[in-house]
Amino acid sequence: MSAIPTPHIGAREGEIAERVIMAGDPLRAKFMAETFLESPIQYNAVRGMLGYTGMYKGKRVSVQGHGMGMPSIGIYTYELFNFYGVKRIIRTGSAGAYDADLELGDVVIGIGACTDSNYAAQYNLPGTFAPVADFAMARAAVEKAESMDIRYKAGNLLSSDVFYGDSADGWKAWQKMGVLAVEMEAAALYMNAARSGNEALCICTISDSLVHGTACSAEQRQTSFTNMMEIAFDII
């Protein structure tokens, strides 16, 4: 029996490209597909997690929603890497700034992803695994950001299981270690890519700052983070 369609992705064989750009918000995935892809075709609506395939500057690219948190992106990226033959994934997401120099709309390229999650326990490793991005993809993202003359930083993210934390100042311990920003998915993406022998990168836009107490609106998060989207489509 074929492993596809999977319980979470309704695509048939060949409907998903080897290069996939993902977003937690399925409406952001829809926006990216309609904005950047030529003749996008929807291949998934299971659980409302929209997915599309089309062409971008001669490359066949898919765009797929992944939901919130490591369990959710863990499911979708596992199925894409292991059942649909996907070779490369870029997550485009929002992040909360820990670094005082980061402003709303700035781009963060996740070289590594610290985490408070127990996701790596499944691998039964005799130590602590350090989830990192694919170097070539990260370097290409930096070069593209510089060519666009946009504000960016590259470094460590925190992939947290907790959105509403019990400690109001807990983030400051990560800030002391030079972590740039917090999001909720990159570590699981990087681990799934490592385990399956594939490539991954997380590019985030700062949507709020824990340092300055500022934040973007929900609509801005959905449709205005186009700098990171352009980077992702150009290097995928």
Residues catalogued as catalytic: 208
Q: For residue 174, what is the DSSP state?
A: H
Phi/psi for 60 (5° steps) reads: -85, 120
Whether residue 155 contacts residue 203, with contact meaning beta carbons closer than 8 Å, is answered with: no
Closest residue by Cα to residue 190 from 228, 167, 146, 157: 157
Whether residue 105 contacts residue 148, with contact meaning beta carbons closer than 8 Å, is answered with: no
* CA atoms of 141 and 144, how far apart (whole Å): 5
Report whether the peptide linkage leading into residue 126 is cis, meaning its omega lies within 30 degrees of zero.
Answer: no
List of residues 6+ apart from 66 with CB closer than 8 A: 22, 23, 24, 49, 72, 73, 76, 77, 91, 185
Whether residue 99 contacts residue 174, with contact meaning beta carbons closer than 8 Å, is answered with: no
Query: Hey, what amino acid is at 104?
Result: L
Strand ranges, E, within the chain: 19-23, 38-44, 51-56, 59-65, 88-97, 107-115, 152-159, 181-183, 199-209, 214-215
